[in-house]
Amino acid sequence: MGLPLGRALLSYSSNKSGEMAKFTKQVSELHIRRDMTIEAAWQKSLEQFRELWPIHREEWTLLMSVGEVLGKTDKAGQSAFIQMMRDKFSVQEKKAEEERARKEKLYKSLGTLGGLALVLVLV
């Protein structure tokens, strides 16, 4: 028998630190102690953590859809779903990385220009 989600998430939160550990702890507690379904506990926790996480709407929608499917299918179904979500998050990660590089370049240019303007003003 595999580990049910509530206990799996609790176990993850006990062994890890950081934002994801706090999130999984909250989901497991809402599920185990307040008898909420995993889907409802996931959704409620995401809403609370949304303000703390700098995520886009698209990423938000993806995260919500994880809670809708977790635990609801057999092993093969769960594996396929998790693999699919990993692929989708990889695409998002790549997009975010590209955006970061683009913005980094922009801010670097802005910084150089700003420095130059400051030099011009002061000299």
Partner 1 sequence: MYLKSKVESRIENEIFPYLPGRIKNAAQKLDRQVINQLEEIRLRAGKPVMLVLCGYDVFLHENGRVLQQPSGALTTSAEELAEMVYKTCENSWYAFQEDINKGFITVRGGHRIGLVGTPVIENGRVINIKDISSLNVRIAREITGCGTAAVKHLVRGNRDIYNTLIISPPGVGKTTMLRDIVRIVSDGFPPVFDGLKVGAVDERGELAACYRGIPQNDLGLRTDVIHGIPKKEGMEMLLRGMSPNVIALDELGNPEDVSTVLQVMNGGVRLIATAHGYDAKQLKSRLGFLELFRANAFERFVVLSESEKHFYEIKIMDGDGNVLAVDAQSGRKPVDHNGFNDGGVHAFTKAYRKAGAYQGGSGIFTGTGE
Give me 69's structure tokens.
């499917």
Task: Report the interface residues with partner 1, using CB under 8 A.
Answer: 1-8, 31, 37-39, 70-78
Instruction: Please give the full DSSP string across 28-53, using - where no structure is assigned.
Output: HHHHHTS---HHHHHHHHHHHHHTTS
Nearer to partner 1, 7 or 56 (CB): 7
Closer residue to partner 1 in complex, CB, 9/63: 9
CB of 2 to partner 1, least distance (A): 4
Closest approach of partner 1 to the CB of residue 39, in Å: 8
Tokens of residue 52, six digits: 């703390």
In terms of CB distance, is 38 or 63 closer to partner 1? 38
**CB neighbours of residue 57 within 10 Å:** 7
Q: Are 45 and 27 a contacting pair, CB within 8 Å?
A: yes
Smallest gap from Cβ 6 to partner 1, in A, equals: 6
CB of 15 to partner 1, least distance (A): 19
Task: Compare residues 73 and 83 and give the one whose CB is closer to partner 1.
Answer: 73
**How far apart are the C-alpha atoms of 29 and 10, rounded to whole Å?**
8
CB of 71 closer than 8 Å to CB of 31? no
